[in-house]
Structure 1
Amino acid sequence: MPGVSSCSNLLQSCAFSLNSTHNSKGTAVYESWFSKPVSVTNGLTGEIRNLSNATQAIDLLSNQWRDEGGRKYLLALRACRQATSGAISADVARNAVVAAARDAHMLVE
């Protein structure tokens, strides 16, 4: 039945668009939601932020991190970028963010 196949493709396309957006190059960008938020203190103001996904973590790592350039910082940034491209799971990136935040004395435990 030709109608079933095209309907199935449409459903897959709709499901994909709900879970990702596309950048200017047409590449899918995933929000990569963490299974549990990561609570950190903001590097500049001391305000507590709850990071719920890799995109939020990239923003904090790129703009308000206390210890930029450290090994765990770089690993966390790379892991979050990989999670937003769908290359690794969000919780692998979350674990890297937790390790980097702990190392920078920013993790709220």
Structure 2
Amino acid sequence: MMLLDIEEKYGFTYPIIYKNLSLDGMLTVGEYGPDWYLTVYPKLKENPPLLLHSYDFELLDLNNVNEAIEELLDPEDYRQIKEEFKFIPFGQSGAGDHYCFF
């Protein structure tokens, strides 16, 4: 999924600087998994994406943003957010707390 797809689907507009970061490849972190640190991280160190070396922050891959939004909107989830607030996640902590655009 691309930024434009997310904007269109949820009636949201990303900040220009975030769009520029995307165009510059600064939002690409690869697919997280058990071998991420061994297989993906060494390549990312050469040209680190946004906040790669920050404390307790994981940038969400654009393909996972839609999934995170759906989780936040799920009426069965204790974290349910009203759709009109348009929280659009772009990162998360190690504990699964989301960093969102509002």
Tell me the TM-score range normalised by the shorter chain. Answer: under 0.3
Q: What's the TM-score, normalizing by structure 2? A: 0.28
TM-score (norm 1): 0.27
Whose helix fraction is larger, Structure 1's or Structure 2's? 1
Q: Higher strand fraction: Structure 1 or Structure 2?
A: 1
